[in-house]
Structure 1
Amino acid sequence: MAKKTQEMKPSTAAAKLGVYLAATPEEFQAGTVSRDEFAELQRNPPAWLVDLRRNGPHPRAVVAARLRVSTSGLARAGMTEPLTTEQITELIAEPPPWLLAERRTFEKVREEERRLKALENPPA
C-alpha cells in the first residue's frame, strides 16, 4: 500500500509562509500543497513569494509583529485590512496615538508573561 502524501490547504500553507493568501497566485489558492512542495517553497522561494514577503500585502500576524503590537491591538484600532511594507513603514515613521498606546499595552503584557514565567521557573 502506497504511503499517502500529506497535503495542506492553501490557507494553511500561506499562514506558515507568512503571506496573505488573497495576494498569492491563483494556482496556489486553487490547489493543495504537499509537504514536499511546501519544503521546496521554503528552500527555493519563487519570485512571487519573495516579492510578497518583501512588499506585502502582509497578513495580520506579520503586520502586528512588524508594528510590535498584538493582533488584538490591530483589531481594537480598526486595522482589519492587510498592509503593505510601505504602509507599515509609514506607520512606524509617524506612529499614530493608537499605535503608541497598543505598543505600551503589548509591552506590559509581555512583561507580565516574563514575570509569571520567572515565578514558575525560579533560579536554582
Structure 2
Amino acid sequence: MKPATAAKKLDVYLPATPAEFQENTITRDELAALQENPPQWLKDLRKDGPHPKNLVAARLGISIAALSRNDVEDALTTEQINALLEAKPQWLIAERESYQSVLSEQRRLKALRAER
C-alpha cells in the first residue's frame, strides 16, 4: 500500500515519518508488524506528534471542520494541543459546545430510529 494509506492506518502524520517509510510501499505484513511491535519512531510520533488533523480534532473535542474554520491548518504536537486545552480560547469553547450538541442530536436520532 502507499505510504499515505499506511500512515492513515497507523494514525500518524506522514510528513513526520522517516524518509524510508515515506518513499517505499508498505505490505500488509509490514503494517501488521508496525502495529504489533512499533519501532521507537512510531511510538514517539504517537506520543508527541505532530498528529494528523483527525487526532488533533478528537483530542480537542471538536470536528475537523472546526479546525479549518479557526485557521488551524498545520498538524499539532501534543504540547500544542495541551496548550490550547489549557488556554481555552473562546473559539475552542464554542466549537466544543457545538460539537457536543451535534453528537447528542445524532444519539437522539439513532435512538429514535432504533425504537421504530
TM-score by length of 2: 0.98
Whose radius of gyration is greater, 1 or 2? 1
Other-structure match for 1:3: none
Instruction: Report the structure, 1 or 2, having the larger helix content.
Output: 2
Secondary structure in structure 2 of the residue aligned to 1:111 = helix
Q: Which amino acid aligns with 1:85?
A: T
Name which of 11, 16, 37 aligns with 1:23: 16
**What is the CA-CA distance between 1:122 and the residue it aligns to?**
1.3
Correspondence for 2:60? 67
Question: Which residue of structure 2 lines up, in the alignment, with residue 84 of structure 1?
Answer: 77
Root-mean-square deviation (CA, aligned residues, Å) is 0.9
2:109 aligned with 1:116: yes
Counterpart residue type for residue 104 of structure 2: E
2:48 corresponds in structure 1 to 55
Structure 2 CA distance for aligned equivalents of residues 75 and 45 of structure 1:
31
Structure 1 residue runs without a partner (length 5+): 1-7
Separation in 2 of the partners of 1:15 and 1:59?
8
SS of equivalent to 1:99:
helix
Q: Could you tell me the percent identity over the aligned residues?
A: 56
SS in 2 for 1:121: helix
> Which residue of 2 is the match for residue 43 of structure 1?
36
The CA deviation at 1:10 is: 0.5
Secondary structure (helix, strand or coil) at the match of 2:115 reads coil
- In 2, Cα distance between equivalents of 1:22 and 1:72: 21
Q: Which contiguous aligned blocks of 4+ residues in structure 1 show a shift greater than 3 angstroms?
A: none
Matched, 1:11 2:10: no
Residue aligned with 1:32, SS: coil
Query: Shift of the alpha carbon at 1:94?
Result: 1.2
User: Partner amino acid for 2:8?
Assistant: A
Q: Is there any run of 5+ residues in structure 2 with no aligned partner, and where?
A: none
